[in-house]
Each structure stands twice: as structure tokens, then as C-alpha cells.
Amino acid sequence: MELRVLRYFLAVCEAKNISKAAEALHISQPSLSRQLKNLEAELGVTLFYRGHQEITLTQEGYYLQEHAEEIISLTNKTQQNLKRSQIISGELYIGAGESIAIKRVMDIIHRILQNYPQVKIHFFNGNSSMIESKLERGILDFGITMANMILLKILIV
């Protein structure tokens, strides 16, 4: 399984249409269709239900989508960390639950982005178990959850 093909797969998941995904990826529709068929053959599963106007993911497709997003995210993060220079730059992955209390965090993020335009921040929202799981797997650098306790974990690379 190649990263390029996983990126193709995720583009199709997002567009929900192979032709639109091919256009966004700047490749031909038959080439993209062939790549997806080869991926399905390699994995031995059907990833999509192909409709006339739109594709729908199968259960296996949803499973691959979740893990492909993690794989691509970790790959991108690793590449960025290895390419760091003296300029303050890079990508920060933050997860938090939806709450009015996050407004203060968002204000700080806004200031960071204004002062350091080379920094990119990816913000994920979810419940505490999802955020803790992504922290443990290295998908997130920083997580904030609010329940009976506040979990704050920073991974310094």
C-alpha cells in the first residue's frame, strides 16, 4: 500500500465522486479508478459502493479512511519535523472538546498564527476518549479535555 494511493483514496472519500476527485488530484479518472481497484484487490475488500453520481464507503472503507487519515497525518508531521529550520515553523496538532472554555485557547492560537506565519495548526474536536486515544498514538501533540478532570499533555519532539 503506497502513501500516494492512500492520498488518492482520501480524496475520493472527501469528494464522494471519483471524477471530481480525479480532477482535484490532476489525474485522469480512468487512472484513479484503476488505482482504487488495485487497492481493493491488494486489500481483498470492497471499499466503495459505486453509485451513478456518488460513491459510498463500505464498512471496510470507513475503517481504511480512519487509519489512512492517521497514516497521512503522521507522515506529514514527520516530514515537517525533519525539515525544521531556524525559523519558527512547523505543524501543531491540537485536540479539544467543544466548550466555551476553548475560546481562550483559540485566542492564543490566533496570536501564534499572526506572529509566526510559518506555523500551521490543525485543530480537531472530539470527546475525551477520542482525544486521549489520538494523543497516545502520536496523532495529536496537545490535547485538552474537560470532564471530571482536565487532561493536558504535550509531546515535545
Cell match 479508478: residue? Answer: 33
Q: Give the containing element (helix H, strand E) for 143.
A: strand 142-146
* Start-to-end Cα distance in the chain: 27
- Angle (CA) 102-107-108 rounded to 5° is 100
CA 58/CA 55 separation, integer angstroms: 10
Task: Set out the domains of the chain in order of their start, with CATH numbers.
Answer: 3-66 (1.10.10.10), 86-154 (3.40.190.10)
pLDDT tens figures, 96-127: 877 777 788 888 888 888 888 888 888 888 88
Distance of CA 88 to the CA centre of its chain: 23
Instruction: Check residue 84 and give its pLDDT.
Output: 65
DSSP-derived pairing of the beta strands 150-154 and 142-146: antiparallel
Is the confidence at residue 37, as pLDDT, over 50? yes
Tell me the residue length of the chain: 157
Instruction: Check residue 157 and give its pLDDT.
Output: 39
pLDDT tens figures, 52-94: 888 899 999 999 999 999 899 888 888 877 776 556 667 888 8
Cell match 459502493: residue? Answer: 49
Residue with the larger pLDDT of the pair 99 and 39: 39
- pLDDT band at residue 155, thresholds of 50, 70 and 90? very low
Instruction: Check residue 87 and give its pLDDT.
Output: 64
Cell match 497525518: residue? Answer: 73
Sheet holding 119-125, edge to edge: 119-125, 90-96, 142-146, 150-154
Which whole-number Å values give the CA distances from 128 to 8, 33, 96, in the listed order?
30, 38, 8
